[in-house]
Homo-oligomer: A and B are copies of this chain.
């Protein structure tokens, strides 16, 4: 997994590991993050934990209250929709930029991801589908080459990962998602910025709509 030479873990290593623990749900919303415990767990000094928590606070994954410690930040339903909406407009912009900068190698890469994705849907392997999904968006971001947008999207997504499974698991969603993704890929490969923008907006709108439905269902249907 991580490097074996076992260079003493640094603060940003700890930050990554904590971030992952939070986004993967190993640390649950509102869970207290006790510096001494975490320090013991990750075999690092408390100071590292402290700066990691400060960074994750800045990132919005953690809230800290003076003298009262840090907790995993719970995002409300309303906030989840805000995040999805913001993500929508940025992904849309990125799709256009990707279309404007596409080249042969990038086309090939996109088609490869598409094939993977299609296979995952055919195999009904939704975990893999989810990974392909993430890979595709990452690939598009890479093509667009917009570091600012990429950074923002990364933090926005980190807030959504826990929720997105609800959407992916909706009946018929993988199929419709695949079709939407294909439209995005086609437009980008054609180098048609306007079409890519439109296709990505449609894709993200349907994601956002389904997310809203999933949230509503949960709210009204218990658990």
Contact = CB atoms under 8 A, between A and B. Distances in A.
Interface of A: 10-11, 47, 50-51, 54-55, 57-60, 66, 79, 82-83, 85-86, 89-90, 92-93, 146-149, 151-152, 156
A58 B60 contact: no
Contacts of A149: 82, 85-86
Contacts of A79: 147-148
B51 A82 contact: no
Number of copies: 2
Contacts of A57: 55
Nearest to A150: B82
Interchain residue pairs A-B with the least CB separation, the first 3: A82-B148, A58-B58, A89-B89
A83 to B, nearest CB: 5
A148 B76 CA distance: 12
Given A55-B58, A152-B152, A93 B85 contact: yes
Contacts of A58: 55, 58-59
A148 B83 contact: yes
A147 B76 CA distance: 12
